[in-house]
């Protein structure tokens, strides 16, 4: 059965959007993954089809109603992780993406306005996931980010199976610098080692560069990585 993303949103027309093109789009047409959207507004009951109301306790903006959202969630079949895109969530990592890609799929709730009523998060056991420490105007682009990251890992999506293995984060490191033709461009040469044909030297160069970039740019990743090597008894 294809990996399935079920997205709950008040803007179903945003999908598949960019997920309908390129790698993800081809895989969608090929049936490697499937996408369905649920219009949360269809589950409203009043004549204005309202999905939001003013925040209890006052303050700006509107909050998504728990009853309408719960009805929308309950209309989705299948036992998959239920995620809520949220800046308060646990930051999305490649490890979590790999875990999600390895299951049957995901159910994703996209927030809008000031967010969703806390009670529905508890009652429907929604796992809050963030795509970074900044605030978007809605969960849809965050959901697309998560889906895109998962879909490219599904078997048969990326041209070469290996291209996912050596990437940034796969080994707890950022990726080494990449080069392609022309051999000299604006006076800059491709490093000699990469055209030496010596595979061991190429691997050594890439490893050293990946470590250097990670140390320089992401001391947080570097610290976690060395912690892990210590635990597993690696040098």
Residues of this chain that interact with ligand SAH (CB under 6 A) are 85-88, 110-112, 114-115, 130-132, 134-136, 138-139, 142
Which residue has its beta carbon closest to ligand SAH? 111
- Minimum CB distance to ligand SAH, residue 126 (Å): 11
Q: Which residues, at least 6 apart from 36, have a Cβ–Cβ distance to it below 8 Å?
A: 4, 5, 6, 7
- Minimum CB distance to ligand SAH, residue 63 (Å): 9
What DSSP letter does each residue of the chain carry, written as one string?
--EEEEEEES-GGGSSGGGGSHHHHHHHHTTSEEEEEEEGGGG--STT---EEPPTT--SS-EE-HHHHHHHHHT--S---EEEEEEEEEEP-HHHHHHHHTSSEEEEEPP-TT-B-HHHHHHTTPEEEESSSS--S-SHHHHHHHHHHHHTTSTTTSSSGGGGTSSTTTTSSPPPP---S-SEETTEEPPGGGGS--HHHHHHHHHHHHHHHHHHH-HHHHHHHHHHHHHTT--
- Burial class of residue 215 in the structure, from the number of CB atoms within 10 Å of its CB (0-12 exposed, 13-18 middle, 19+ buried): middle
- Minimum CB distance to ligand SAH, residue 112 (Å): 6
Rounded Cα distance between 103 and 80, Å, is: 8
- Minimum CB distance to ligand SAH, residue 52 (Å): 11
- Minimum CB distance to ligand SAH, residue 110 (Å): 6
Nearer to ligand SAH, 149 or 210 (CB): 149
- Minimum CB distance to ligand SAH, residue 89 (Å): 6
- Minimum CB distance to ligand SAH, residue 95 (Å): 17
């Amino acid at each position: 059965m294809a990996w399935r993303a079920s997205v709950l949103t008040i803007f179903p027309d945003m999908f598949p959007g960019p997920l309908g093109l390129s790698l993800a789009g081809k895989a969608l047409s090929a049936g490697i993954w499937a996408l369905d959207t649920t219009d949360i507004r269809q589950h409203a009951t009043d004549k204005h089809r309202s999905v939001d109301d003013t925040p209890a306790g006052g303050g700006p903006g509107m909050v998504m109603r728990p009853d309408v959202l719960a009805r929308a969630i309950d209309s989705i079949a299948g036992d998959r992780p239920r995620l809520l895109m949220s800046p308060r969530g646990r930051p999305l990592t490649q490890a979590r993406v790999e875990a999600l890609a390895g299951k049957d799929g995901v159910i994703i709730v996209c927030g809008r306005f000031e967010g969703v009523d806390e009670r529905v998060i508890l009652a429907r056991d929604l796992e809050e996931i963030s795509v970074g420490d900044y605030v978007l105007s809605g969960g849809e682009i965050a959901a697309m980010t998560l889906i895109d990251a998962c879909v490219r890992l599904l078997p048969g999506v990326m041209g070469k199976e290996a291209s996912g293995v050596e990437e940034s984060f796969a080994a707890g490191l950022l990726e080494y610098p990449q080069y392609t033709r022309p051999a000299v461009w604006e006076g800059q040469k491709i490093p000699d080692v990469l055209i030496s044909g010596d595979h061991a030297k190429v691997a050594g160069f890439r490893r050293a560069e990946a470590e250097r970039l990670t140390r320089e740019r992401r001391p947080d990743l570097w610290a976690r990585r060395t912690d892990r090597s210590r635990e597993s008894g690696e040098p």
